[in-house]
Amino acid sequence: MSDDIPADTPSDSSTSFQEIVVVTGISGSGKSVALHALEDAGFFCVDNLPPELLREFLRLEHGLARRRVAIAVDVRSAGSLPHLLPLLDELRAEGVHIRAIFLDASTDALVRRFSETRRPHPLSDAHHAAQVAGQPARRREDRAPDDRRALVDAIELERELLADLREVSTVIDTSQLRPAQLRTWTRDLVSAAEHRLTLVFESFAFKHGVPLDADYVFDVRVLPNPYYLRELRPLTGRDEPVAAYLREQPEVSEMLGQIEAFLSRWLPAFEGDQRSYLTVAIGCTGGQHRSVYLVEALAQRFSGRGATLKRHRELDARH
């Protein structure tokens, strides 16, 4: 981690940030859960800090004891969001090390969560949403005919407002995650942050949807399925009997080798593009056998090339 400090911070200070994490994302995607996880991991956390105050906050923090800082910024400060990306670029140019984590979820999952909590979406008020987006407010007769449609409209507007920020952040898809999973995944990400590029291998079930945070998706449903063997059905790809069965299948070895060769070919390009994380999602029908085995095998093969994380979306949800 660099010990450089912002240019306008007093140069006689010997303190520097070990890490600054900016947490943002779609409302209802779990930002509070992620922020609490970072707080438990030893970060000093601030929620909904207006971007205009970020530089001043970092200047004040710089004079305090050496500590890691996490800042949540969301659409409640949407009027200031256009200034956030240029500000982050300026701070990075001045030597401040910043990691941005963006939490996302499918629209159906967000609608369900807002319905369960009965909390209003920050952009649910038509006039406020129009002001944030820089658009004229819609006439009453032009507004959504029901609450669900109005909520969907607010979510889609928020996606538009945060699209640029999502593009430059590490994305976590929380659609299928329980809070405990999100806490673990968040801590895993920041613990690997000192590495130049972190490879994230994630297994999933196609029947529950493709992860929104995947940079690459490989479909391994064409491979022999241990599910159809009675003695292997209750096991997972982390169990040796399943792994032994899959290792014996020529198609599995060929698929594994081709994925490894593809990633090995393009990893240097991602590193040269200043990427912090690359998420490779491996999907099968149930997310229990084939995809889990390939994630375990790929993580092992790439473990010597830097930080490597493993996620098993369906399996982790059981614990």
Claim to verify: residue 88 and residue 167 sit in the same structural domain? yes
Claim to verify: residue 201 and residue 106 sit in the same structural domain? no
Q: Which of 146, 168, 190 is the last residue of a domain?
A: 190
On whether the pTM is more than 0.85, the answer is no
Q: Is residue 10 in some structural domain?
A: no
Claim to verify: residue 65 and residue 177 sit in the same structural domain? yes
Claim to verify: residue 97 and residue 130 sit in the same structural domain? yes
User: Residue 79: how many CB atoms within 10 A of its CB?
Assistant: 15
Q: What tokens does 242 get?
A: 């399943």
Give pLDDT tens digits along the chain (319 positions). Answer: 333 434 444 333 334 555 689 999 999 999 999 999 999 888 889 888 888 888 888 877 766 656 788 999 887 765 667 778 888 888 888 878 888 899 999 999 999 998 888 888 888 764 444 445 555 544 444 444 466 778 898 999 999 988 888 988 889 999 989 998 999 889 888 876 555 688 999 999 999 999 998 999 999 999 999 999 999 999 999 999 999 999 999 999 999 999 999 999 998 888 777 677 899 999 999 999 999 999 999 999 998 887 899 999 999 887 6
Residue 68 sits in a domain whose CATH number is: 3.40.50.300
Claim to verify: residue 100 and residue 233 sit in the same structural domain? no
- Our CA angle for 72, 116, 169, nearest 5°, is 25
CA–CA distance, 102 with 162 (Å, rounded to integer): 9
Claim to verify: residue 129 and residue 243 sit in the same structural domain? no
CA–CA distance, 36 with 186 (Å, rounded to integer): 10
Claim to verify: residue 182 and residue 202 sit in the same structural domain? no
Q: Is residue 1 in some structural domain?
A: no
Residue 274 in 3-state DSSP? coil
Q: Which of 190, 216, 234 is the last residue of a domain?
A: 190
Q: Is residue 3 in some structural domain?
A: no
Q: Is residue 13 in some structural domain?
A: no
107 burial (CB, 10 Å; 0-12 / 13-18 / 19+) is middle
The dihedral built from the CA positions of residue 233, 292, 172 and 280, taken in this order, carries a sign that is negative
The DSSP annotation for 102-150 comes to EEE--HHHHHHHHHHHTPPPTT-SHHHHHHHHT-PPPPGGGS-SSHHHH
CA–CA distance, 24 with 30 (Å, rounded to integer): 10
Claim to verify: residue 108 and residue 169 sit in the same structural domain? yes
Q: Which of 190, 215, 243 is the last residue of a domain?
A: 190
CA–CA distance, 169 with 96 (Å, rounded to integer): 16
Q: Are 176 and 208 in contact (CB under 8 A)?
A: yes
Claim to verify: residue 70 and residue 100 sit in the same structural domain? yes
Claim to verify: residue 85 and residue 211 sit in the same structural domain? no
> Is beta strand 69-72 parallel, antiparallel or unpaired with respect to 44-47?
parallel
Domain that holds residue 253: 197-316
Q: Is residue 14 in some structural domain?
A: no
Q: Is residue 11 in some structural domain?
A: no
Instruction: Encode pLDDT of 29-69 as tens digits.
Output: 999 999 999 998 888 898 888 888 888 888 777 666 567 88
> Is beta strand 170-173 parallel, antiparallel or unpaired with respect to 98-104?
parallel
| Number of domains composing the chain | 2
In the sheet that 69-72 helps form, which strands lie side by side, from edge to edge? 44-47, 69-72, 20-25, 98-104, 170-173
Claim to verify: residue 158 and residue 278 sit in the same structural domain? no
Claim to verify: residue 224 and residue 291 sit in the same structural domain? yes
Q: Is residue 210 in some structural domain?
A: yes
